[in-house]
Amino acid sequence: MIELYTYDTPNGRKISVALEEMGLPYTVHVVDITRQQQFEPSFLAISPNNKIPAIVDPDGPGGGPISVFESGAILIYLAEKTGKCMGANARERVAVLEWLMWQMGGLGPFPGQVHQFLLQPEGPAREFGLTRYGNETKRLYGVLDKRLSDRTFVATADGPSIADFAILGWVWRHERHLGGIGTSLDAYPNVSRWYQAMMARPATAKGMGVALK
Ligand SMILES: N[C@@H](CCC(=O)N[C@@H](CS)C(=O)NCC(=O)O)C(=O)O
């Protein structure tokens, strides 16, 4: 059984959703990042960057245990382990990796900064942060909206891929980062349609609902 070390955050939810969608049994270990548990030596041993999520798979390559940190690496590891959610052919696999990397470098770090600047007191620093990171977040939502204008899933035809799970983790928090900068998911109708469809999937709903704190 896979051990999932995580918390109730966008990056944490990506992995519970992926595990549910892939039908892999797992045990949750809550790492309470509000109480600094990510700095405990036992967690640093599997996640040296002191961030959730991380996994331990007792049945890793060659039959022995393996630990994996960084949500993108975990998603690729799980897809390769199961042969699921990585695309039906080489072209789809490229698209899956493109959109996974797009999320890891964009629609994650930038709305994440919006979340942080929303917590700052009124003033020029808050205004600068919300303008800079808010504009980039809106641009990224626009790119995603265009991508989803003629397809059901972000990178694959026959079902969701790990790219959908990665992006979903962040869109799941759209009310916070879009609402916080005075807009909403309604401004991105294709993303909105995709989001509703993903959240209506029983396995995704289970991964989004499992207790992570
Ligand atoms: N690139 C990392 C980012 C993970 C990340 O930012 N995790 C946050 C919660 S969403 C965290 O653990 N923060 C605790 C800390 O920075 O000390 C990934 O995708 O796994």
Which atom, in ligand 1's list, is nearest to the CA of 74?
20
| 115 CA distance to ligand 1 middle (Å) | 13
Cβ atoms of 7 and 195 closer than 8 Å: no
pLDDT for residue 203: 98
Mind spelling out the 3-state secondary structure of 36-59?
CHHHCHHHHCCCCCCCCCEEEECC
Q: Ligand 1, atom 15: nearest CA belongs to which residue? A: 51
**Residues with Cβ within 6 A of ligand 1?**
9-11, 33, 38, 50-53, 70-72
pLDDT for residue 47: 98
- Give the 3-state secondary structure percentages of the chain, helix then strand then coil, rounded to 5: 60, 10, 30
pLDDT for residue 64: 97
The preferred substitution site among 52, 100, 167, 168 for testing ligand 1, maximizing ligand atoms within 8 Å of CB, is 52
Task: Transcribe 109-149 into DSSP letters.
Answer: HHHHHHHHHHTSPSSHHHHHHHHHHHHHHHHHHHHHHHHGG
pLDDT for residue 39: 98
Question: Which two structure tokens, joined as six digits, stand for 76?
Answer: 């690729």
pLDDT for residue 122: 97
Surface-to-core class of residue 45, CB atoms within 10 Å of its CB (0-12 exposed, 13-18 middle, 19+ buried): exposed
The span from the CA of 169 to the CA of 146, in Å, is 19
Residue 187 contacts by C-beta under 8 Å, 6 or more apart in sequence? 138, 141, 178
| 87 CA distance to ligand 1 middle (Å) | 26
Which atom, in ligand 1's list, is nearest to the CA of 11?
10
Q: Ligand 1, atom 8: nearest CA belongs to which residue? A: 51
| 72 CA distance to ligand 1 middle (Å) | 12
Which atom, in ligand 1's list, is nearest to the CA of 12?
10
Beta strand 66-69 pairing with 54-57: antiparallel
The preferred substitution site among 11, 75, 162 for testing ligand 1, maximizing ligand atoms within 8 Å of CB, is 11
CA distances, 56 to each of 20, 28, 68, 103, 143 (Å): 16, 11, 7, 23, 34
| 11 CA distance to ligand 1 middle (Å) | 7
Averaged over successive runs of 10 residues, the pLDDT of the chain (213 residues) comes to 98 98 98 98 98 98 97 98 98 98 98 98 97 98 98 98 98 98 98 98 98 95
